[in-house]
Every structure is written in structure tokens, then in C-alpha cells.
């Protein structure tokens, strides 16, 4: 158990809909990262938050947004869903925002868009 | 930008065989290098890491040496077990500026047969 909790584990929704994925980082970790894992693109970095502020952005679509709340949990919002958004979404957390300790990953949310 | 290239899988070995999974990287500065492992149905777990040139990371019989001259971080294990069957990801940290994120290779599926 990494200490990072993601909910829900599975999500099935229709095209055009909006979903929210939730992540609770390890106790004491200030940074949260979101990754998308798909068969064709591999593991892609989406976005990073550190202590409530956006720190880095990767290949995140404009239809996607995220935030980190004062209690440090984070949510990833995916809207106007398309079939191609079907993927495994991982959250990871680490202590710092600008150094390189290891990142701890949650078990992921599997999103299926039908 | 930064990138990681690892050998395409899948790799299938018999128990007690020698394992090498190649990983090369392109990066500015001096990144840290990581190997993560993903067991079926689980999130990614850090397997080992190296933070500077010539460092050797090791864990659970796996080893990898940070080779700056060849920009490589190949994963090796002398005798694999069935329980090593998983997807292995090579990654580097991008700690430029005030940001930090991991850039992953596409992953290599390892299957070890008894």
C-alpha cells in the first residue's frame, strides 16, 4: 500500500459527459501529480500541484482541469468526454515540488468512455 | 525536451534466466533516473533509483547503473523469478526550475515462465 488513495477504481460513462477523479496523497506529501496511461500513448504526465498551486503542466487537454484543495487532496475533472479519453488515470504524490524524491503512486482509476 | 526510450517488449524468459531491459534517455541538466514496476492490477512502485552519474541503484536483486557517457540506465537481474512478471518503466526526473515531474518510457512487459 503506497498510501495514495484514488477513487473511484472504475468509472464507465458516456461520450460528452463529465467526471471527477479524486486523489488523497500520502500523509505529509505536498505535491500531487496526475498521469494518464493508455496503450498507444504510454504513461503521460498531465499536471502537478504543490501545496495548492499549479506547478507544472504536461500534455493535458483543455477539456481537463485539476485542482488541489487546502487539505491537499486533488481532483481531476474531465469534461466533454470522448472515446479516446478511455485510459487508466494515476495520481502520485511526493514530499517536495522541486526536488526528486520518489513519487508514490495510487492504484489508478480506470475510465471507460462508451 | 526530455525523453526516455526503453526496449520494446514483450520479453519472455524462463525462471532463473538473466534479464536486461535497456533504457536510454535524453535530458538537459543532470536528471535522476528511476525504474518503476507495475504488477497486474496495481499502481507503479519505485524499484530503484540513481541520482548522479556512476551511481548504482539496486533492490530485490535488480540493478541499474547511471551511465552519463552513454545516457543509459539499463535494468539487470541475474536470475528472474515468476513473481517478477510485471511491466517495467524507466523514468527520469525533470527538476528544472521550480518544477519536478517524471518522464516515463513506454514500459516493457516481462513474463517469466516456470
pLDDT for the residue numbered A77 = 98
Chain B residues interacting with chain A (CB cutoff of 8 angstroms) = 31-32, 34, 36, 41-46, 49, 51, 89, 93, 95, 97-107
Ranges A97-106, B19-28, B68-77, B91-100: which has the least confidence: B91-100
Q: Does the pLDDT at position B96 exceed 60?
A: no
pLDDT tens digits along A30-80: 999 999 998 888 889 899 999 999 988 888 999 999 999 999 999 999 999
**H helices of chain B, where?**
none
Distance from CA of A8 to the nearest CA of B (A): 14
Task: Identify the closest residue of chain A to B42 by CA–CA distance.
Answer: A107
- Spatial contact of B46 and B75, defined as CB atoms under 8 Å apart: no
Distance from CA of B69 to the nearest CA of A (A): 22
Question: pLDDT over 70 for what percent of chain A?
Answer: 96
The SS3 of residue B72 is strand
User: Which cell numbers hold the place of B2?
Assistant: 526530455
Q: Where are the beta strands (DSSP E) in chain A?
A: 5-7, 10-13, 19-24, 31-38, 42-50, 53-57, 64-68, 74-78, 87-94, 104-105, 109-113
B46, B102, B103, B109: best to mutate for the A interface, most A CBs within 10 A: B102
pLDDT for the residue numbered B95 = 61
Angle (nearest 5°) at CA B113 between B111 and B72: 40
User: Which cell numbers hold the place of B71?
Assistant: 545516457
CB–CB of B100 and A58 under 8 A? no
Distance from CA of A80 to the nearest CA of B (A): 26
Angle (nearest 5°) at CA B109 between B90 and B74: 35
CB–CB of A102 and B100 under 8 A? no
H or E element, residue A60: none
CB–CB of B107 and A42 under 8 A? yes
User: Which cell numbers hold the place of A47?
Assistant: 499536471
Q: Does the pLDDT at position A14 exceed 90?
A: yes
Task: Identify the closest residue of chain A to B94 by CA–CA distance.
Answer: A100
pLDDT tens digits along A66-79: 999 999 999 999 99
CB–CB of A55 and B99 under 8 A? yes
Q: Does A92 touch chain B (CB under 8 A)?
A: yes
Q: What are phi and psi of A25, to 5 degrees?
A: -75, 170
Amino acid at each position: 500500500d503506497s498510501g495514495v488513495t484514488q477513487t473511484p477504481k472504475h468509472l464507465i460513462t458516456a461520450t460528452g459527459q463529465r467526471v471527477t477523479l479524486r486523489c488523497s496523497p500520502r500523509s505529509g506529501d505536498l505535491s500531487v501529480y496526475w498521469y494518464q496511461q493508455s496503450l498507444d500513448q504510454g504513461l503521460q504526465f498531465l499536471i502537478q500541484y504543490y501545496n495548492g498551486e499549479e506547478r507544472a503542466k504536461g500534455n493535458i487537454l483543455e477539456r481537463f482541469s485539476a485542482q488541489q484543495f487546502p487539505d491537499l487532496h486533488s481532483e481531476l475533472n474531465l469534461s466533454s468526454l470522448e472515446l479516446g479519453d478511455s485510459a487508466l488515470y494515476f495520481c502520485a504524490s511526493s514530499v517536495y515540488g522541486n526536488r526528486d524524491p520518489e513519487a508514490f503512486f495510487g492504484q489508478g482509476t480506470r475510465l471507460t468512455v462508451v | 525536451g526530455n525523453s526516455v526510450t526503453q526496449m520494446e517488449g514483450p520479453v519472455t524468459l524462463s525462471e532463473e534466466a538473466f534479464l536486461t531491459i535497456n533504457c536510454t534517455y535524453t535530458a538537459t541538466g543532470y536528471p535522476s533516473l528511476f525504474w518503476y514496476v507495475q504488477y497486474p492490477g496495481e499502481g507503479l512502485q519505485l524499484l530503484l533509483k540513481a541520482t548522479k552519474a556512476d551511481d548504482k541503484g539496486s533492490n530485490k536483486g535488480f540493478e541499474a547503473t547511471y551511465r552519463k557517457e552513454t545516457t543509459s540506465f539499463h535494468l539487470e537481474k541475474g536470475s528472474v523469478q515468476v513473481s517478477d512478471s510485471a511491466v517495467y518503466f524507466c523514468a527520469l526526473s525533470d527538476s528544472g526550475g521550480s518544477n519536478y515531474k517524471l518522464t516515463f518510457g513506454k514500459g516493457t512487459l516481462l513474463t517469466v515462465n516456470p
